[in-house]
Amino acid sequence: MTEKIRVGILFGGKSAEHEVALQSAKNIVEAIDKNKYEVVLIGLDQQGRWLLSEQGSFLLNEQDPKQISLNPAGSNVALVIGADGRHGLVDINSKEPRGSLDVIFPVLHGPFGEDGTIQGLLKLMDVPFVGASVLGSAVGMDKDVSKRLLRDAGLPVGAFLVFHKYGSGAIDFDAVQQKLGLPVFVKPANLGSSVGISKVHNKEQFAGAVEKAFEYDVKIIIEKGLAVREIECSALGNEEPIISFPGEIVPTHDFYSYEAKYIDESGAALVIPANLPEQIVEEIQRLARRAFQALCCEGMARIDVFLTENNEIFINEINTIPGFTQISMFPKLWELSGVSQTELIDRLLQLAIQRYEREKKLKTIF
């Protein structure tokens, strides 16, 4: 009998997207091939502690997206490299070893998990992990940097302005309106799941939207509001990614807000596949693939694009640890493309191991 691969599911995290990550982890644990993989659940609470959790009780209120939380009863653990070179967990209190890990699947949406921080730690610990590495994670999270890199790569992006908190006194509504028009979207530069985002239609809404965005980041981005269809597609692979069929988000809210994504089951209609001409589908897939490569992504990503009534395509953003919830586009689009969630998780883990083995062949010393 082949020995199972021990997979550390690292989930939760310190960001405002903590609860979304709990929902994603729940679905990954349910879908993973348990004949091939042994699951080790490591929950990160909002203080940054690593808790080794039991599979049957790692979440509280797991059926309620508004009340879901990490069970705090787990053992406090740390990731270490043993004398034998194996990556494993150690109980911080008892100092007892809690088993080795062959690969880690980070399910940490937002800052302190999707932005290169955990990826840097895992590279230092010499453990394979799913998804983009340090650089791809960092630039994918930063909407300002990613848009500039996409623009420099010749990819189409919408008009935007960037402001820093230290210069927030110079943010002038009239100047923004003159450059971008109305409406505009005001966003934290480093966050996802529509947290901290406001759609601004007039001057009265502007100051509150800016203040709200600065609650989550020291840098904000203000984007031109376009009359568009919101199209998403999924990427899978390392150097040569494949791109799924696109799907369309049709929000019933004013925009695709956090509530529409994760709380309100009727907050948006997911049109899968998107009703698009074949040549538009192919162009969206081509641009998505180029965006994935331009931003140094690996493993997986969800690429969000805007499509105007004149069939102009703009890359909106890329998500390097996309949601795996029951209503998340990333796994749904792969199901449409013929890849089940179980197979998708398997491919992601194998891609992580392949990249690790490739990088181990590189010289690190003279």
Q: 6, 12, 17, 133: which is the annotated catalytic residue?
A: 17
Nearest to 50 by CA among 29, 79, 81, 19: 79
Q: Which two tokens stand for residue 344?
A: 């998708």
Residue 323 annotated in active site: yes
Residue 236 phi, psi (nearest 5): -145, 125
Residue 319 annotated in active site: yes
Compute the CA torsion angle 47, 50, 54, 55 (nearest 10 deg).
90
Q: 319, 346, 347, 355: which is the annotated catalytic residue?
A: 319
Q: Count CB-CB contacts under 10 A for residue 361.
A: 6
Q: 24, 190, 193, 257: which is the annotated catalytic residue?
A: 193
Q: 289, 302, 347, 355: which is the annotated catalytic residue?
A: 302
Q: 37, 256, 258, 262: which is the annotated catalytic residue?
A: 262
In sequence order, the β-bridge partners of residue 306 are 230, 314
Residue 262 annotated in active site: yes
Residue 302 annotated in active site: yes
Q: Count CB-CB contacts under 10 A for residue 234.
A: 29
The phi-psi region of residue 95 (left if phi > 0; otherwise alpha if psi is between -120 and 50; otherwise beta) is: left
Sheet with 184-188, side-by-side order of all strands: 160-164, 219-224, 184-188, 198-200
Angle between helices 117-124 and 134-141 (to 10 degrees): 170
Rounded Cα distance between 345 and 102, Å, is 15
Residue 278 annotated in active site: no
Residue 193 annotated in active site: yes
Q: 304, 316, 328, 355: which is the annotated catalytic residue?
A: 304
Q: 133, 317, 328, 346: which is the annotated catalytic residue?
A: 317
Q: 323, 328, 346, 347: which is the annotated catalytic residue?
A: 323
Residue 304 annotated in active site: yes
> Looking at the annotation, which residues are catalytic?
17, 193, 262, 302, 304, 317, 319, 323
